Amino acid sequence: MKSKIPSWFWLLIGSILMLFSNGRWIFPICTWIYPFCFLLYLHTNKKFNALIYLFLCSGLINTFAWWKIVPLPLPAYLFVMMIGINLFMTIPFYIDKIFQNRSNRFIRTFIFPISWVSLEFLHNNLLSKGSWMSIAYTQFDFLPLLQIVSITGIYGITFMIGWFASSAVYFTERNFEWNKVRTQIYSIAGFFALIIFTGFLRIHRFNSRQTVQVAAIVQERTINKELNSCRWTDAKAISNYSGQIEENLLTKTREAARKGAKIILWQESAGFLPRSKVSVFVDSAISLASKEKIYLLMTLWSVPNNFPNELVENKLMLIDPTGKIQFSYLKSNPAPPEPIVKGKGNMPYFDSEFGRISAAICYDADFPSFIRKAGEINSDIMFIPANDWKEIDPLHSHMAIIRAIENGFSLVHPAGQGLSVIVNPVGQILEEMDYYSDEGQILYGNVPVKSIATIYSKVGDLFAFINIGTFVCIVCYLVSLQIKAIMQKINRGPLFRVFRPMKN
């Protein structure tokens, strides 16, 4: 295709759309279009420096889009965004460009999505230690599409976005001539229609007849403002405050119980106190749970007197209606630079009359493979308290909701300084409360007590591994071509002619 539109135009439009495709500003449609623009830019610009311009533009956009979302010191942040993460994000475009002139068949459109899925998976598991930048989360508002994560995990959505972009370039290069692209358009349209239809069907067929009332509690906002000088980095200050937070939590828990809540969860690190006072506070919570006949999932930020020589415990405890502690859990995936004792990586659970209860804490939910442990043991209700900050509200809560769809459990997610949600197993938000726009401290909701089986909870990231296996084959093929080209140059070079065997 020879276009009158200059190639730099596609780079410009793609860069603008990329800014609004993920991170601080998300318009889901931009996520689908910007890869198409970048691919078309590379396809219409044959010069090698086109890749360099793409790399620089992508790095600059990422730096703006994720500012204050990725909590790193400025020098480290600039290096990671401009070099580390950006390298993972631009390699798929480079590989697609290499194959541009090697095949004109429609099957070539799979090269880009396979590469994108592979690099995103490797980025999530090697560089970022979490799934923060997955483009799957940008499609949160399109619930029928999100149902595919119950089979493939988040990488199914990444694949679909990538395949849409590469297919659109394929059709554009053929000027959408119906006789040339009719079969391929039918194929990709049918595939997308099938995914969305089955998503609608899964949502429609979900039945939640049996429910239990739960309550999610966040810290009182004025107390938070008054404790600005009391940080987790200051062990002395935390020993001096009055204990208002703990008194408020117990009062609100009692209020929620008397309004009918059977299971109550606090936000992450709600009980914010020195370790010397933990046992007294836990005893008060046990007494309250047994008196009100509730399940209480209490959270503690327990600071030792010799901090930072000894680390903080970021803990969650489940107390049953008899006052017995059924499990105690330490956060297993500390968020950098969180100075906490790392948990053992187990998934706690308890079989109650309201189904199997499991729990994790905040950053744990950013690891799909970790939360899948709850799916493997058929947890019915998952409790994931969090403590966020304004720049990641509501993105972080949307990430947690996708864990519910992947594993088929109900989710209760109170988020201090973020979006608190109560969600059913297909990802529908039953109740929500935003810390910055709502004045309430307690979120009530009725959640289904029975989970639904998902393929993802059984096979995990098998879809991603299939893509990675294919990607490795692609890379090996490219390497073999490069070796072949080098050998051909050697065979034609003067050195070969000097040492070439003489003919008889």
Task: Quickly state the pLDDT bin for 504 (edges 50, 70, 90).
Answer: very low
Shared domain check, 181 and 44: yes
Task: Kindly state the tokens that stand for 197.
Answer: 């239809």
- Flag whether 294 is in a domain: yes
Question: Within this chain, do residues 345 and 483 fall inside the same structural domain, yes or no?
Answer: no
In a domain, 62, yes or no: yes
Q: Which of 420, 439, 458 is the last residue of a domain?
A: 458
95, part of any domain:
yes
**pLDDT exceeds 90 at position 372:** yes
Phi/psi of residue 452, each to 5°? -120, 145
Specify if 235 maps to a domain.
Answer: yes
Asked whether the predicted pLDDT for residue 96 surpasses 50, the reply is: yes
Q: Are residues 199 and 292 located together in one domain of the fold?
A: no
Q: Are residues 191 and 221 in the same domain?
A: no
The answer to whether residue 493 sits within a structural domain is no
126/99 same-domain check: yes
pLDDT the model gives residue 2: 56
Rounded to two decimals, the pTM is: 0.91
Tell me which residue range forms the domain holding 295.
Answer: 211-458
Residue 312's CATH number = 3.60.110.10
Q: Does 2 reside within a domain?
A: no
Residues 171 and 141 in one domain: yes
Q: Cβ contacts of residue 307 below 8 Å, gap of 6+?
A: 235, 339
pLDDT band with cut points at 50, 70 and 90 for residue 488: confident
Q: Does residue 504 lie within any of the structural domains?
A: no
pLDDT digits (tens, 9 = 90+) for 430-468: 999 999 999 889 999 999 999 999 999 999 999 999 999
Helices within 325-394 (DSSP H only)? 368-376
> Do 372 and 281 have their domain in common?
yes
Residues 249 and 167 in one domain: no
325-348 average pLDDT score: 94
The residues, ordered by sequence, that sit 6+ positions from 284 with a Cβ below 8 Å of its Cβ are 246, 250
Can you tell me the distance from the alpha carbon of 354 to that of 446, in angstroms, rounded to the nearest whole number? Answer: 12
* C-alpha span between 434 and 420 (Å, rounded): 6
Is residue 371 a part of any domain in this protein?
yes
Q: Do residues 183 and 155 share a domain?
A: yes
Question: Does residue 220 share a domain with residue 113?
Answer: no
Give first-to-last CA distance, the chain, whole Å. 52
Structural domains counted in the chain: 2
Q: Are residues 169 and 34 in the same domain?
A: yes
Same domain, 380 and 472: no
3-state helix, strand, coil in the chain (%, to 5): 55, 15, 30
Question: Does the pLDDT of residue 240 top 70, yes or no?
Answer: no
Across residues 244-269, what is the average pLDDT?
96
Model confidence pLDDT, tens digit, residues 201-225: 999 999 878 999 999 999 988 765 5
Least confident of 156-160, 238-242, 417-421: 238-242
Q: Give the residue among 440, 433, 381 at the shortest CA–CA distance from 408.
A: 381
